[in-house]
Structure 1
Amino acid sequence: MLATRTICLILLAFCAGHVDGAKIMFYNGARIAHSHMLFMGKIADILHDAGHNVTFYQQETFKSVNVVGVRKAKAIVRPAAEDMGEEPHHDVWHPDKGLVANLEMFKVYANALYKACESQLLDKDHIERIRSEKYDMAILEYFDVCGLAITEMAGIKKFITTSALMEQNEMLKALGHPLNLAFVPSMGVEHGSRLTYSQRAQALIGHPIKIMIYRLMFGGIHALIDEKFGRHFDYEGTLARSSYVLINVDEHLTFQMPLSRKIVHIGGLGQDEPPKPLPKDFKSIVDKSKNGVVIISFGTIAQSSIMPPEKKQSILDTVKKFSQYDFIWKYEVQDDVGSNLTNLHKAKWIPQTDLLAHPKVLAFLTHGGLNSVSETAHRGKPFVCVPLFADQNTNCFAGEEKGIGLVVLKDKMAADLLINALDQVLHNPKFKLRAQHLAGMMSAKPFQPRDRIVGYVNHALRFDVHTNSENILVLNSARTSHSHTAFLGKIADVLADAGHNVTFFQQATCQGIGRIETKKAMVIERPCVDGKCDEIPEVNLWKSALTAAEDYKMFGLFTRLMAKSCKSQLQDEKFIDSIRSANYKIAIMEYFDFCGYAIAEKAGIKKFIAATATFPQHLALRLFGHPVNLGFVPGISENHGSKLSYLQRVKALLTYPLKVYLQENFGRPALEVIREVYRKDFDAYDVVHKSSYFFVNADEQFAFQQPLSEKFVFVGGIGETTEVKKLPEEFSLVFEKPSRGVVFISFGTTSKSSMMSEELKLEIVRTAKSLPEYEFIWKYEIDDTIGQNVSNLHKFKWVPQADLLGHPQIRAFVSHGGLNSVSETIRKGKPFICIPLFGDQSNNCYAAKEKGLAIILHRHELNHQNLVKSLNEILTDESYQERIQEFSKMIASKPISSNERVVKHTEYAIKFNLSQVFDLPCRSLSTIQYYFIDVLIPVAIFVFASLYISTWLIRKLVLSMRSVEKHNKNE
């Protein structure tokens, strides 16, 4: 059976490689997340490289999310709508403060989505422009309700949806997959796939609650779309018709669950590209490091510089403890945190991918963002993961379950725990071996993410397209995230490289998240609604996690912005006409970009491809009818991997309904706009489900393993090159220093190291000082005196991360666990310490940890004792290096690259109608049917009735016999 499937895949790859270019639209109905945009951008660029005509349409939503994501595909950014509301505020470093704060954050996103969707749906010209392009297919994120509605309004019949996160329950439900709550963690739970009794109980009880909250928060966007359609828009039904669903995670890293073939893992996009030479300052740190380097980075949002003081101190204590190693800490401001640690090198920016690829990088301390975890896993580096919010818990626990890292929960980010985790990652050879093994597996898997994206898109396009070069639209109906836009941009460029005419449309939404350029695809940016872009409040992710009220407020802002942008686009008939006149054969957009789907549909685009910049999240899984296996697949922000404890399973079970509710309500404002200005019966789930494929910005070997349909195409590392560029002189000087190696520390763009608390900064400094035999390159974004007296600590405001990770002297990486960083790290074969801060970082970190590629340190565990211990483990335990190297080779050696997957799958989707080919039968089953409740209840009634009647008859018989006996005695 396996041999037959392999042969079929090879034949598919061969045939797809000969598909002529198609017109594909990527659509993002509300640009609200950097990583999602980057993920979609990678897919768009890959399809662009494959020769498709790709257009990435994005709806600008938040000013702070200005990433377009593409370098080659054409991007069109639609400006944000008026009165988008407040920007989301992320304070992920502080402990969670309850449900109310989270609901407030979701309200922010719901409001943004609603306004973005409303703006697009009311923009008749916008829909007509999309329809006029005549896209062969649309690609958008699975949860983009407004995007799905717009795609349908624009007449796009085929579409592929995507997910920038790990598999989410919403997508599984829409695709007809069983919601495996007992072994698939949902977003935010603190466990992996092995749940304890209490965790399973929590997941079961929480699931309906999450659904209720989601509907409450995001019901507006659904009502909006229904009103515009003039009928109910079946979001789940639409999503289920996706030809494929591309997931931004490697199947080897994600939690394993039963999935139909609609789901294609494309994690590790770009990770097959050689690392660039490290900048001079980073190269100097790595070269001079005697024992190796540990990278510390918590991503873009969870900046190290805004960490609470006690967490900074934990990192500094860890650095000090591992004085023999160098620590490169992504620290976004210049201060004196860690200035006394010679082995701590703070840098405002770090070349995370290149650092993780460097052989002297031993481990990564990360927040567990999916990109960081994936990158680390692909580079074969063990890590310590400190998940902060969203899907970071899932990512981290996935890595932990793979044995490539350890998870340190944010609330337990004490120095002793960080040191313990880092010590294990650095000194227990099993972590290095598993990380290298996992990296090797991912790099050597039969079909690389690029190949999957290309192949599955081609497959979805194949039904009715036979042109030499297809017009492809990559659509972002609300540009709210740098990484998500960038991912779509990469898809656009890949398709453009493949010879297709790719347009990357981006809808400008908010300040701070600007136009994402592509290398080859044409970028079209639609300005913010009425020329006014909303501003997203700056978020210090180094503080404890957002309160429920803050979360609710932030997400509400995003949803309102997305809805506003969506309404503007859908009402812009000239805009829709411009898309319709382009005659796009397919549109590519993020799976949650419902407005993007609506725009594509209104513009007459018949085929779609969805995309996700993260691991497949529960929403994406539900949209495509997949089961959400809470018992072993962590949801976003969950502080565990796939091996959940009893309590973790209880929590996952109890909180799952709430998460579902919140997720559904996240897209409700945009759906309400779509139904108001497009068609009332717009079913986002149904439209997204029609996507031919779902491009995932992750490597399938790295992501938490779960059953996925063939719609999911893993394109992790899309658009990336294995080439390692020469490092700038300032980095090269670091590597020239006599040392055992270099430890690279970076926490991404959002979670700047400079925003860490003084205590956390000092923890990093102490860690570097504790490991004097290693040089530390620290991405630290400001000039200050932190660590200035630590000779082996080198701070840089910017780092060429990919090239640093590719340097042979990088021994370890300390990262926030962003999916791009993790994926880059893994592909570079560097073990890492993962400190997840928010979002999908926990998922990424745990995925790497489970594969033995990383050690996870949670934010509250971040101190120099834990860091030193974790670094010592990663730096001295050869198993980490062996695992990450093997894992990296495995990913690099995959028969079909991510770029090829994007191109071939897009071309395939253009030629064939795949909207229902890979649908799961269980998608049409109700919960009562799926769990045999309708069978069990009658059986139970019959059994109990039989027992009752039997008992009653026996009792009557006994009484009768006694009566006779008594009567006889009386006689």
Structure 2
Amino acid sequence: MNVLKASHCLLALSVLFATDLPSALAGKVLVFPVDGSHWVNMNILIGVLHSRGHEVTVVRSASSWYVKEDSPHYTAITVTLPEPINIEKPDFFISFLSKMLEIQKHGGSPLAFAEFYWHMLTTLYDMHRQASQLVLEIFENPVLMKRLDEGRYDVVLTDPGLPVGVLVAHKLGLPMVYNVRWITSGEGHFVVAPSPPSYVPAAGSLMSNRMSFGERIKNVFHYVLNMYIDHFIVRPEYDKLVAHYFGPETDFYHLLQGADIWLMRSDFIFEFPRPTMPNVIYIGGFQCKPSKPLPPDLEEFVKGSGEHGVVIMSLGTLVKALPSEITSEIAAGFAQLPQRVIWRHLGERPHNLGNNTLLVKWLPQNDLLGHPKTRAFVAHGGTNGIYESIYHGVPVVGIPLLFDQFENMLRLKVRGAAKVLDATKLDSQSFLAAVQEVLHQPSYRENMQRLSRLHKDQPTQPQDSALYWIEYVMRHKGAAHLRTESYKMPWYSYHSLDVMAFLLAVVLTVGGAVILTIRYLCLCLCRRKKSKLE
């Protein structure tokens, strides 16, 4: 009996050490990130990989403003580009946002819609043209290519929003893992899983998964529009690279769809239900964690709020500040609240700022959201902030500004956890009313806390799932058995149009033959009757 107990103890200790010690498979990971807010969550994965004993190498451009050259967690390979990629220019998003807000002020006229898309598509084309230059600089540098080839990497971890890593992984013949929500053509599911537009909202449609007939028409329009943008705006530059370096028989879209594992930064407590695939692993909210104590000065400010608590406001990492006419209205609204406000604000100080509002250049967002005195979160709707608010159960007042932020806020609104405002129509009173509604109607907090409980109730934490599947691909040199080959099929075969055409032809042929036979028999019968009568 004692021997049995001892063996159980040894087994328990071995499991404990196996989970706590670095991975026995200390591999080499080549990382191609996207700058800005995407880098925030990629850097977390890199830190986890490093803690497990893996050797990480990050390929960055010299103009990158978030991906630093020096880090204790990775070795950097820096590539100099002829011109910086737009998203790596510190002031790019400020000017882009100002232009977008100016266009949106004109309302929903066809001219404003056309101007909005023209500006967006021009910017999108420039960004991918610049990213394709990074591929060119890597492939045309024999010293760098030799270094990458001799690096003997086990896997490429890449963000396919800019698909530089996709082409390099194919060139090196390496398995590939995506840290993904968005790819070149929109939301990642649309190229990896069936996406019926009858109930799967297309990017930009601002629809839920319950659509009326008219909304389905609008959704199909956006679905086709996204296909047009992908084929004629995004893909041409990459198609040229693929044709030049891999030959005409290789298709860029096939390379993009050929990742072994998709680490999808989504969770179905937030996303609308939809079809998926076995090589899609959901890690939405993997960056979230329990809050830590606040710095003493912030803690003192928060505690001083008394029973009213505090409101947090942040616009994330991309947009430093809103136009002054909008921030003035927000400041005036905040000034009328009994709550204290902590506002991450980097622009010009609003002239009508209230005594209850603290402006900071940086704030520990996760720790503030997890503080018991935090009552609401005023946010732009970036994915990282959304999941942190869900994790900590804090209701949101949304002011979406760019890209997927509108759809993120729509999902929270549909679930009753957020109030959404239009930045171009915002004034102090509408802003104040929205914040007060979220603060005083219990349903907002109750709905968000319900989402928080669902999000946390998982057999495996998202970060552990991400690590497991990256190491899985390293151990098995890929995961082709989880990947469908349907993406290599022609579009007419994928949708079984050739089968339907064949079956229709068979039906028509058989039907025609039956009709001709009946007509022939009838004709013969008529002739016999006629001959008898004669």
TM over 0.5: yes
Q: Structure 1 residues 561, 931: CA separation in 2 closer, same or farther (over 3 Å shift)?
A: closer
Query: Helix, strand or coil for the counterpart of 1:934?
Result: helix
Residue 774 of structure 1 aligns to which amino acid in structure 2?
A: Q
Query: Helix, strand or coil for the counterpart of 2:127?
Result: helix
CA distance in 1, matches of 2:95, 2:318: 3
Root mean square deviation, CA, Å: 4.4
Matches within 5 A, 1:75-474: 75-83=75-83, 411=107
Query: Helix, strand or coil for the counterpart of 1:691?
Result: coil
Deviation by residue 1:714-767 (Cα, 9 ceiling, x = unmatched): 333445532323145156325413452222222223334x43251x33432343
Aligned to 1:833: 397
Residue 654 of structure 1 aligns to which amino acid in structure 2?
A: F
CA distance in 1, matches of 2:331, 2:431: 11
Aligned to 2:417: 853
Q: Confirm whether residue 556 of structure 1 aligns to residue 106 of structure 2.
A: no
CA distance in 1, matches of 2:160, 2:87: 22
Q: Confirm whether residue 50 of structure 1 aligns to residue 52 of structure 2.
A: yes
Aligned to 1:823: 387
Query: Helix, strand or coil for the counterpart of 2:29?
Result: strand
Q: Which has more strand, going by share of residues?
A: 1
Q: Confirm whether residue 568 of structure 1 aligns to residue 147 of structure 2.
A: no
Q: Confirm whether residue 844 of structure 1 aligns to residue 413 of structure 2.
A: no
Contact 1:587 1:605 in 2 (8 A): no
Pick aligned residue for 1:27 from 19, 24, 32: 32
CA distance in 1, matches of 2:414, 2:53: 37
CA distance in 2, matches of 1:798, 1:839: 23
Q: Structure 1 residues 736, 728: CA separation in 2 closer, same or farther (over 3 Å shift)?
A: same
Aligned to 2:461: 897
CA distance in 1, matches of 2:276, 2:97: 33
Residue 176 of structure 2 aligns to which amino acid in structure 1?
A: F
Unaligned runs of 5+ in 1: 1-12, 93-298, 312-409, 413-542, 962-971
| Matched-pair identity in % | 21
CA distance in 2, matches of 1:696, 1:709: 11
CA shift for structure 1 position 653: 0.8
Aligned to 2:206: 639
CA distance in 2, matches of 1:717, 1:571: 38
Residue 54 of structure 1 aligns to which amino acid in structure 2?
A: V
Aligned to 2:74: 74
Aligned to 2:362: 798
CA distance in 2, matches of 1:643, 1:822: 22
CA shift for structure 1 position 671: 4.2
Contact 2:161 2:183 in 1 (8 A): no
Aligned to 1:523: none
Query: Helix, strand or coil for the counterpart of 1:707?
Result: coil
Deviation by residue 1:175-201 (Cα, 9 ceiling, x = unmatched): xxxxxxxxxxxxxxxxxxxxxxxxxxx
Residue 929 of structure 1 aligns to which amino acid in structure 2?
A: S
CA distance in 1, matches of 2:288, 2:474: 25
Query: Helix, strand or coil for the counterpart of 2:166?
Result: helix
Residue 334 of structure 2 aligns to which amino acid in structure 1?
A: A
Matches within 5 A, 1:676-755: 676-677=244-245, 681-729=249-297, 732-738=300-306, 740-752=308-320, 754-755=321-322
Contact 2:128 2:162 in 1 (8 A): no
Return the TM-score normalized by structure 1. 0.46
CA distance in 2, matches of 1:20, 1:585: 10
Deviation by residue 1:617-676 (Cα, 9 ceiling, x = unmatched): 7463354x4212333333434423333343332122123233123224424314423543
CA shift for structure 1 position 43: 2.6
Contact 2:31 2:56 in 1 (8 A): yes
Aligned pairs, how many? 509
Contact 1:619 1:660 in 2 (8 A): no
Aligned to 1:781: 346
Contact 2:23 2:53 in 1 (8 A): no
Residue 25 of structure 2 aligns to which amino acid in structure 1?
A: D
Q: Confirm whether residue 621 of structure 1 aligns to residue 189 of structure 2.
A: yes
Query: Helix, strand or coil for the counterpart of 1:24?
Result: strand
Q: Structure 1 residues 72, 852: CA separation in 2 closer, same or farther (over 3 Å shift)?
A: farther
Bigger-Rg structure (1/2): 2
CA shift for structure 1 position 593: 4.2
CA distance in 2, matches of 1:784, 1:594: 39
CA shift for structure 1 position 548: 2.5
CA shift for structure 1 position 706: 2.1
CA distance in 1, matches of 2:421, 2:350: 25
Q: Structure 1 residues 957, 863: CA separation in 2 closer, same or farther (over 3 Å shift)?
A: farther
Q: Structure 1 residues 774, 702: CA separation in 2 closer, same or farther (over 3 Å shift)?
A: same
Query: Helix, strand or coil for the counterpart of 1:716?
Result: coil
CA distance in 2, matches of 1:879, 1:52: 45
Q: Confirm whether residue 767 of structure 1 aligns to residue 336 of structure 2.
A: no
Aligned to 2:41: 39
Q: Structure 1 residues 75, 632: CA separation in 2 closer, same or farther (over 3 Å shift)?
A: farther
Residue 32 of structure 2 aligns to which amino acid in structure 1?
A: Y
Aligned to 2:116: 547
Query: Helix, strand or coil for the counterpart of 1:911?
Result: helix
Pick aligned residue for 1:886 from 446, 450, 462: 450
CA distance in 2, matches of 1:305, 1:659: 22
Contact 1:85 1:561 in 2 (8 A): yes
Contact 1:776 1:792 in 2 (8 A): yes
Query: Helix, strand or coil for the counterpart of 2:265?
Result: strand
Pick aligned residue for 2:492 from 904, 914, 928: 928
Aligned to 2:473: 909
Query: Helix, strand or coil for the counterpart of 1:636?
Result: coil
Q: Structure 1 residues 786, 941: CA separation in 2 closer, same or farther (over 3 Å shift)?
A: farther
CA shift for structure 1 position 570: 1.0
Residue 749 of structure 1 aligns to which amino acid in structure 2?
A: T
CA distance in 2, matches of 1:45, 1:773: 40
Contact 1:59 1:566 in 2 (8 A): no
Unaligned runs of 5+ in 2: 1-17, 526-534
Aligned to 1:662: 229
CA shift for structure 1 position 780: 2.3
Q: Structure 1 residues 88, 928: CA separation in 2 closer, same or farther (over 3 Å shift)?
A: same
Query: Helix, strand or coil for the counterpart of 1:551?
Result: helix
Q: Structure 1 residues 309, 924: CA separation in 2 closer, same or farther (over 3 Å shift)?
A: closer
Query: Helix, strand or coil for the counterpart of 1:799?
Result: coil
CA distance in 2, matches of 1:645, 1:674: 41
Aligned to 1:814: 378
CA distance in 2, matches of 1:618, 1:922: 19
Contact 1:27 1:56 in 2 (8 A): yes
Residue 780 of structure 1 aligns to which amino acid in structure 2?
A: H
